[in-house]
Copies of this chain bind each other. A is one copy, B any other.
């Protein structure tokens, strides 16, 4: 499928892509590019990449696919050097959790590279862990990968990247960058804030008594604040709107409690339960397709 794949940042997502591509023989050679030798060594050890380099130019030379899998906060710094080092005709893809701002940054840097085709993607998979040691070759099986193709390129690069994700086991869905950002604010970013805020309502003393409920509800609050800060910065407007909705819903629940209007509260909980049951069905269907 590809001759040489360069993964800039072979961590949880990049490393899992490397592993999965190797297992499925989708690339002749996969090189990992990073800033710290110890991370690259780990990526090599877990089999995420064939070779490693600290030198971006060396890594990108001859690559027909470049995967930008570093945190969003590095994109400003990396976009220029990547645009300079990438081969003409190569496909550039990235896996960031927000799209509108990320695409602006990359397109501005790529301005001059007419031959390079950017295909933004967001694999909806991951865990609260990070780094190459958390990489998992089955991470994308049964997952959804969103692609936000740019207007002028539904032709060549897009089908290749779509095929790649399908080969890795993902269901591929295409939408606009702004649709994507609105979506993830609701299914991912606000749930992270909600889970984090819950940890502020329990203190050390109460924690001792926690059962499975709080454990599951707050699992995503264990993930790295630095990764999330990048996301919050780059998708701030959509997150603010979704947060306003979320706080508004909680306020309506609170109003029902204040007024002792239990039928109103019950109705809100019943709607939530129905929707949650529907979510369980969708997830089960997806698992069955795997």
B186 & A202 in contact (Cβ 8 Å cutoff): yes
B250 & A214 in contact (Cβ 8 Å cutoff): no
A276 touches B (CB below 8 Å)? yes
A246 & B240 in contact (Cβ 8 Å cutoff): no
Answer whether A246 and B250 are a contact pair too, CB < 8 Å, given A271-B200, A275-B202.
yes
At the interface with chain B, which of A43-51, A105-113, A124-132? A124-132
A216 & B216 in contact (Cβ 8 Å cutoff): yes
A2 touches B (CB below 8 Å)? no
A149-167 interface code vs B (CB 8 A; 1 in, 0 out): 0000000000000000000
The minimal Cβ–Cβ distance linking A137 to chain B, given in whole angstroms, is 17
A209 & B183 in contact (Cβ 8 Å cutoff): yes
A268 & B200 in contact (Cβ 8 Å cutoff): yes
Q: Restricting to A266-290, which residues have a CB under 8 Å from any CB of B?
A: 266, 268-273, 275-280, 282-283
Answer whether A268 and B196 are a contact pair too, CB < 8 Å, given A213-B220, A217-B216, A232-B257.
yes
Chain A interface residues (CB < 8 Å from chain B): 124-127, 143-144, 146, 173, 183, 186-188, 190-202, 204, 206-226, 228-229, 232-233, 236, 239-240, 242-247, 249-251, 253-254, 257-258, 260, 262, 265-266, 268-273, 275-280, 282-283
Q: Which 4 A-B pairs have the closest CB atoms?
A: A196-B272, A199-B272, A225-B269, A197-B249
Instruction: Given contacts A143-B211, A197-B246, A221-B273, list 12 more A-B pairs with CB under 8 A.
Output: A124-B210, A186-B206, A188-B213, A201-B242, A204-B278, A207-B279, A207-B282, A217-B220, A218-B276, A222-B276, A225-B270, A229-B266
